[in-house]
């Protein structure tokens, strides 16, 4: 990736102009009240901030989160080394229809919309998912991480990063549960033997950035996503109040957090999964490192019973997370000619 093929430009130059505004940023939340020295009032105020951000934006940034800076610096260093390898070397760990873990780019996915390359790995190794999205198929399969020979320290750095991000995810999950008026650990049980995974993203510079997207508009299918990004920036969030695209300005050492489709269903639409996209830069490459916190494959996702009543009935039918994920995974590699499965397909 680097030079844009003329046929690629011709295929996408009909896209409408991408309007952006920087007038208002997503909420920036200080997690230091989680320190033991702070009062119950401090924690209560933090929970209110989290709830307001989830309800009004679906996105927020957090600082003073406790993640060791060396862990974050290390993951960026190994990502830069890996993506600097030759295409032939990176393709030795390419993902495919059998194993969705490893390396891929727009050439492998046949997706002219996206201008990026990616390396995926799971928190649990192996991870267990359904073998197919078909409801009657009860077979399970193991997903095994693929690790390249170089850089040799990549595996250790990735495993350390995923473990640290899981700690952050549980911390945020408990704050979100409290903000919904639930016991702190109400949601934790859904994540035993979870299907969470992490990703290394590389967005090369592109000399026609107005014609491409680093990643097209989408919503995340899991429960919570936590993103570390470098200082280049490129992430944009669709503001709920007016539909404007808001640039997320990089904040040093912050994480960007968003609720996904699973949280939207659990909260019975109180917290909405919001569209977002990634722009490319004409001069600078960009790196980002999302962690997708998702429940176990056996989890049936439906509105939580504590949050529904006669005046606020359930808005979704229950669906199996593993089958949902298997369907999404299949369509990410192979163009099925139909729309990706969405949570609105389960709306009552």
CA 45 to chain centre: 26
Take residue 169 and report the two structure tokens written for it: 């995810």
Structural domains of the chain, with CATH: 42-346 (2.60.120.330)
Nearest to 261 by CA among 298, 289, 294: 294
Q: Cα dihedral sign for 179, 183, 185, 190?
A: negative
The CA-atom distances, in angstroms, between 146 and each of 90, 94, 220, 237 are 11, 8, 23, 32
| The dihedral sign for the CA sequence 90, 92, 93, 94 | positive
17 vs 281: CA distance, rounded Å? 16
Q: Classify each residue of 125-161 as buried b or exposed e, where b means 16 or more C-beta atoms within 10 Å of its C-beta.
A: eebbbbeebeeeeeeebebebbbbeebeebbebbbeb
Q: Give the pLDDT of residue 145.
A: 96
**Rounded to two decimals, what is the model's pTM?**
0.90
**Inter-axis angle of helices 40-56 and 154-179, nearest 10:** 100
Q: Over the chain (348 residues), what is each successive 10-residue block's mean pLDDT?
A: 46 41 74 81 93 97 95 97 96 89 77 82 90 84 93 97 97 98 97 93 86 85 96 94 93 96 98 94 94 96 97 96 84 52 89
pLDDT at residue 112, rounded to an integer = 55
Report how far apart, in Å, the C-alpha atoms of 308 and of each of 238, 271, 312, 314 are.
Answer: 28, 14, 5, 6
Tell me how far apart the terminal alpha carbons of the chain are, to the nearest angstrom: 44
Collapse the DSSP code of 227 into the 3-class scheme (helix H, G, I; strand E, B; otherwise coil) and give the result: strand
């Amino acid at each position: 990736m680097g030079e844009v093929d003329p046929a690629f430009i011709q295929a996408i130059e009909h896209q409408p102009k991408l309007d952006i505004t920087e007038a208002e940023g997503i909420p920036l939340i200080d997690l230091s009240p989680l320190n033991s020295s702070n009062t119950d009032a401090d924690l209560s105020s933090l929970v209110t901030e989290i709830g307001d951000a989830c309800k009004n934006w679906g996105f927020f940034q957090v600082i003073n989160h406790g993640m060791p800076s060396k862990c974050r610096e290390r993951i960026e260093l190994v990502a830069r080394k890996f993506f600097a390898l030759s295409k032939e070397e990176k393709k030795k760990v390419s993902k495919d229809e059998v194993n969705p873990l490893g390396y891929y780019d727009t050439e492998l996915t046949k997706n002219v919309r996206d201008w990026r390359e990616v390396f995926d790995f799971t928190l649990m190794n192996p991870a267990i998912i359904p073998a197919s999205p078909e409801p009657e198929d009860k077979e399970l399969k193991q997903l095994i991480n693929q690790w390249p020979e170089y850089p040799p320290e990549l595996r250790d750095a990735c495993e350390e990063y995923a473990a640290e991000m899981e700690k952050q995810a549980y911390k945020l999950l408990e704050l979100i549960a409290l903000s919904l008026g639930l016991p702190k650990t109400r949601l934790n049980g859904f994540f035993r033997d979870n299907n969470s995974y992490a990703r290394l993203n590389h967005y090369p510079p592109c000399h026609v950035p107005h014609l491409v997207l680093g990643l097209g508009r989408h919503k995340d299918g899991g429960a919570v996503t936590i993103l570390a990004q470098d200082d280049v920036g490129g992430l944009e969030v669709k503001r709920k109040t007016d539909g404007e695209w808001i640039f997320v300005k990089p904040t040093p050492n912050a994480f960007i957090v968003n609720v996904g489709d699973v949280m939207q269903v659990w909260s019975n639409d109180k917290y909405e999964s919001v569209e977002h996209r990634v722009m490319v830069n004409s001069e600078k490459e960009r790196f980002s490192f999302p962690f997708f916190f998702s429940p176990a494959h056996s989890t049936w996702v439906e509105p939580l019973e504590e949050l529904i009543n006669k005046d606020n009935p359930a808005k979704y039918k229950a669906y199996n997370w593993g089958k949902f994920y298997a369907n999404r995974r299949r369509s990410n590699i192979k163009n099925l000619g139909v729309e990706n499965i969405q949570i609105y397909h389960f709306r009552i």
